[in-house]
Structure 1
Amino acid sequence: MTTNKIEDSVGQNFWEQLWQKNETGWDIGQASPAITQYMGQYTNKNKAILIPGCGNAHEAEFLVATGFTNITLIDIAPKAVETLKEKFSDIPQVKILCEDFFEHVGNYDLIIEQTFFSAIPPTRREEYAKKMYSILNPKGKIIGVLFNWRL
């Protein structure tokens, strides 16, 4: 159990409350143009892709529409995951997990970072980097939109 207020403010309860109140101001309503531009030139549609802290997963919608076949979404908020399971119910290319990214086990060729970095406390950024490294396959890549501030 943490006693750090910053750590406590970003746990599952924090994010679940935001989803329950529909306070998702970080959501731009579409896949990030920088990510869609990059993925538009990514040729191997079967690579294992992870989107941590995926929120509404607009990037996953784009990936499915452009033929990608192996997408894993992680979000810690049960309400977000419930919404995603409905959204992608008939799309077997997308696996949806309700879990803490830092506890996730898997291996990926590509990790798409859509502001997840800014949602974690700065005190966990070193842990974030180590976790990313541990689940990224050799020659894998992390691409995305990162901000050096907290949501």
Structure 2
Amino acid sequence: METPSFTFRLERVRTIRERAEDRARENLSNELRVRAEGEAMLEQATDAAIAARDHSRATVQSQRLSSSDFLSAQAFIERTERLRIDASIELARREAEVAVRREVLAAAARDRQAIDKLKERQKAEHDAEWARKSQNTLDELALAVHRRGGALAA
């Protein structure tokens, strides 16, 4: 007796969930790249703020400054510090977006795994059912052979 092939009726749903997981993985990858850019921006802004403070400090210590020069230097320091703070806030926003993308990917993976488990379970049930039917057929054949052999001996 030939075992019929197993057909999973929800294969389209499984394929859709698999694609959703792939899209979620791509989105996470893109967000990780964007976050890395944000980290680079923060590093540049931090370096610029440190350089501005160091330059201002060196200028004040080595020269006599007019009040307008001092105010200009102070404004430059404040601008670079504001840019550093903005870059830090942007990085935090990007990290939050990465966390969201990770959660979306985890949910998509769970959905796909659930349908994969369902497919495996249904395939196992299918195989067990056909194994049982095959065994019943073999048992009937063995019984028929045994009866014929017993009838001939009597």
The structure whose residues are more often helix, as a share, is 2
* Shared fold, TM over 0.5: no
Report the TM-score range of the alignment, normalised by the length of the smaller protein.
under 0.3
Higher relative contact order (CA 8 A, sep 6+): 2
TM (norm. structure 1) is 0.22
TM (norm. structure 2) is 0.21
The structure whose residues are more often strand, as a share, is 1
